[in-house]
Amino acid sequence: MSGELREKIIQFIHDEYVDDGTEVDDNTPLISSGLVDSFSMVSLKLYLEEEFEIEIDDDEASTEEFETVSRIQSLVSRKLQERH
Amino acid sequence: MAYTNELRTRLTQTLEELSAAGLSKDERYIRSAQGVEIEVEYPLASAPRRVLNFCANNYLGLASHPRVVEAARRGLDERGYGMSSVRFICGTQDSHNELEQRLAEFLGMPEAILFASCFDANAAFFEVFFGREDVIISDRLIHASLIDGIRLCEAQRDTYKNSDTEHLEKKLQMWKERARSICVVTDGVFSMDGMIAPLDRIAELCEQYGALLVVDDSHATGFIGRTGRGTHEHHNVMDKVDVITTTLGKALGGASGGLVAGPPEIVSLLRNRGRPYLFSNAVPPAVIYGALEVMEMLTEGTALRDTLEANAAHFRRRMEAAGFTLVQGESPIVPVMFGDARLAADMARSMLDEGIYVIGFSHPVVPMGKARIRVQLSASHTTEQIDHCVEAFIRCGEKHGVIGKDIGAGS
């Protein structure tokens, strides 16, 4: 599941945010690099909530939690565990 | 006094970092009136020299036009220097009202309201109309003033890729059941690359999804479109844009002042609740009189915008023939691409030595690796002056080895 989860997150980030062929991996800075700006973060939050059927509180959708694919993956995994 | 050492040290460090990164903004002193031929003191304390200006927003060449200057002088004589008041106390003259009507009429909108700047207009707008239940979907390359205006309101925010209407439609689909109202925001012409937004398709989508369409047309009002009304005229959607924000600080005389044009309820609420409007001085009489004269000139005919269009086409044609890489487009903003930031800066410096005043733009103002010189044409440039600029580009380009080099033009 974690491999699939990672792939889905990376694919979404590519489709939604990347215009110039930038490669995104587990530790690519997303927010601090400006790839995902504060106005665009909501798309990522909504995607994660719908795709993985989880709820992310606004205070959890922080720039720190969304900084890398790795951190987003941890957040989603935690939410999936809480659900079970 | 509490200007502590800690704060001073921190600020000094920030300034040093800016300088080390080559991002310090050093201002050049202009020692003449604004125009296509100006006198520049650069480097500071050096002897002023006359150069051709290709980096002003003086699109129609009205910044120092005798008719505009004369009208402004009349404003000074008849109505004095300043209003010493905000509009709603004792700062509204009949001429403010007259200019608002003329601007609304020119833009094909029901009403208009003046602000001290378009930055203020954009800062005022969103907070007045949108709250937590609403969403504002903006193009990712909108002007900083729109971004700040959106930040000031409590609405949810989302963005779409620059001018990508398929992406915008996805966002509209996503938000249509999630928000009380949707507002779509774009620049009419994007200032760094001169591209005209696909307003026809954007307007169609806004109609389909019931979204309010707000366009900042600061780099279009007065010259884009057959009679210079702006991007909405260019795309033949004059009646399909809900709100236009724009400036008097560029083509319309270039002094200062901005406006919001739109439905009466929107304008009235801005008069009552727009904070930058309520708490800023009224635009001074000289500027109002000057702008009224500009409106008069623009309704007399299209000669100025026609000349500007021809000038931009001539410059593009000659630069492409010379082997430079340009961002394609139709506006008088013509980015000449160099890719590398230092190369763009070196080219700009060499151009100044040739008597042509242009500026290099690099990251973070434009994307990394997309450094450029942004050339801005004016209706006041003569064909000879434009040719002189192109020839200077060719000489500097040869010197720096950039002509014919493969440089990505994507903005």
Q: What is the 3-state secondary structure (H, E, C) of B181-222?
A: CEEEEEECECCCCCCECCHHHHHHHHHHHCEEEEEECCCCCC
d(CA B286, CA B72): 4
Quick check: B311 and B317 in contact, CB under 8 A?
A: no
B116-159 pLDDT, tens digit each:
999 999 999 999 999 999 999 999 999 999 999 999 999 999 99
Compare B364 and B244 and report the one with higher pLDDT: B244
**Which of these is catalytic: B219, B232, B234, B370?**
B219
Average pLDDT over residues B34-46: 92
pLDDT of residue B400 exceeding 60:
yes
**Among partner residues A19, A20, A42, which is closest to B156 by beta-carbon distance?**
A42
**Catalytic-residue membership of B411:** no
Average pLDDT over residues B171-184: 96
d(CA A10, CA A25): 7
pLDDT of residue B245 exceeding 90:
yes
Q: Name beta bridge partners: B38.
A: B51
pTM: 0.94
**A interface with B, Cβ–Cβ below 8 Å:** 19-20, 34, 37-40, 42-43, 46
pLDDT of residue B409: 60
Chain A nearest C-alpha distance from B290 (Å): 38
Residue of B nearest to A18 (CA): B161
CB atoms < 10 A from the CB of B176, how many?
14
Helices (H) and strands (E) in chain B, counts: 14, 14
pLDDT of residue B315 exceeding 90:
yes
Average pLDDT over residues B52-59: 98
**Catalytic-residue membership of B399:** no
pLDDT of residue A82: 85
Which one of A12, A32, A39 makes the best mutation probe of the B interface by having the most chain B beta carbons within 10 Å? A39
Quick check: B257 and B249 in contact, CB under 8 A?
A: yes
φ/ψ of B323, rounded to 5, equals 100, 15
Compare B105 and B22 and report the one with higher pLDDT: B105
pLDDT along chain A (84 residues), means of 10: 85 88 88 86 91 90 91 93 80
**Among partner residues A20, A34, A40, which is closest to B158 by beta-carbon distance?**
A40
**Among partner residues A19, A34, A39, which is closest to B138 by beta-carbon distance?**
A39
Chain A nearest C-alpha distance from B260 (Å): 23
Query: Is residue B364 reached through a cis peptide bond, with omega within 30 degrees of 0 on the bond before it?
Result: yes
Residue of B nearest to A50 (CA): B174
Residue of A nearest to B148 (CA): A39
**Among partner residues A20, A40, A46, which is closest to B159 by beta-carbon distance?**
A40
ipTM above 0.90, yes or no: no
Which positions in chain A touch B150 (Cβ < 8 Å)? 39
CB contact under 8 A, B147 and A20: no
CB contact under 8 A, A40 and B161: no
CB contact under 8 A, B367 and A20: yes
Q: What is the mean pLDDT of chain B?
A: 95
Say what percent of chain B tops pLDDT 70.
99
Find tokens 């700006």 and name the residue: A37
Q: To the nearest 5 percent, what fractions of chain B are helix, strand and coil?
A: 45, 15, 40
pLDDT of residue B408: 64
pLDDT of residue A34: 82
pLDDT of residue B368: 77
**Looking at beta carbons, which pairs linking B324-329 to residues 24 or more positions away fall under 8 Å?**
B324/B393, B324/B397, B324/B402, B324/B403, B325/B405, B325/B406, B325/B407, B325/B408, B325/B409, B326/B409, B327/B193, B327/B194, B327/B195, B327/B372, B327/B409, B327/B410, B327/B411, B328/B409, B329/B193, B329/B194, B329/B195, B329/B196
B344-362 pLDDT, tens digit each:
999 999 999 999 999 999 8
d(CA B386, CA A32): 42
CB atoms < 10 A from the CB of A11, how many?
11
Quick check: B340 and B319 in contact, CB under 8 A?
A: no
pLDDT of residue B301 exceeding 90:
yes
d(CA B215, CA B221): 11
Which positions in chain B touch A21 (Cβ < 8 Å)? none
Quick check: B338 and B407 in contact, CB under 8 A?
A: yes
**Catalytic-residue membership of B191:** yes
B269-280 pLDDT, tens digit each:
999 999 999 999
pLDDT of residue A1: 55
pLDDT of residue A23: 86
